[in-house]
Amino acid sequence: MDMLNRLDELSDIIESAKSLPLSASCVVPRDEVLDLLDEIRATLPDTIREAEQIVRRRSEILDTAERGSLERMAEAQARAERLVEEATERANSTRAQASAEAEKILAEARMQAALLVDSHATTLAARDEAAGLVKDAAHRAELILSATAHRSNVLLAKAEAALLGAVQEIQREHADLESMAVGFHAEIAAGQADHVVDVAAREQQNQPSHGAEEFYDFELDVSVDPDQLPGYR
């Protein structure tokens, strides 16, 4: 705030300076103005450096957060893809094993039925018993395949849930990053607004009284933009 105070003092000096007749110029105290400009020049670099450090630090935080978010997104995506791939492989392997087991059961049942028919001299009862064996084997095979299909569906459902969770995690990371960026810009805007209000209030309180005036030893054209004053930038 020292720099702002010095600028306010400089503004007060210029506003209260005696105007020259038929001119926009005025006379101001040379030494006092130069001293204020020296103080402003000495204070300004520290202020700018602090502001640059704050902005740079905020930018580093955002960059770090973005890199971390991208890394976590990639990890979540890779993890979900591995889960889906593993679940698919396990489901296919389970189906293949179940199918082979069902075929084996049916083959053994047919073989037993053929032996039974041969041993009973092709009687009607033997044929019925053989048909029952085959039917029972087919039922067992159907149960195995049904259970395997259910297990495969469960595995795939878990993999899909993991993939959905990864997508949601990526969306949360993206939303958090956007929120951080919006907050950063809002904070900067709020700081600028507070500064404008503070300066306006100070200028309102420090209106010149226009009392007794003195003549000084050099002229300053107040029509010039204050930004062009030496050392102001």
Position 45 scores a pLDDT of 67
Q: How many structural domains compose the chain?
A: 1
Is residue 140, in this structure, part of any structural domain at all? Answer: yes
DSSP letters, 114-160, are HHHHHHTTS-HHHHHHHHHHHHHHHHHHHHHHHHHHHHHHHHHHHHH
Terminal CA-CA length for the chain: 16
23 part of a folded domain: no
Q: Please, which residues have CB within 8 angstroms of residue 31's CB and are 6 or more apart in sequence?
A: none
Beta bridge partners of 19: 26
- The more confidently predicted of residues 35 and 56 is 35
Please indicate, yes or no, if residue 47 is contained in any of the structural domains.
yes
User: What whole-number percentage of the chain has pLDDT above 90?
Assistant: 0
Is 71 inside a domain boundary?
yes
221 against 40, higher pLDDT: 40
- The residue segments making up the domain with residue 144 are 2-18+28-228
Whether 127 maps to a domain, the answer reads yes
Q: Is residue 99 part of a domain?
A: yes
Say what the pLDDT of residue 220 is: 39
What pTM value is reported for the model? 0.37
What local confidence, expressed as pLDDT, does residue 222 receive?
Answer: 41
Please tell me the least confidently modeled range out of 29-33, 78-82, 209-213: 209-213
Domain assignment present for residue 233? The answer is: no
Question: Residue 148 and residue 142: Cα distance in Å, rounded?
Answer: 10
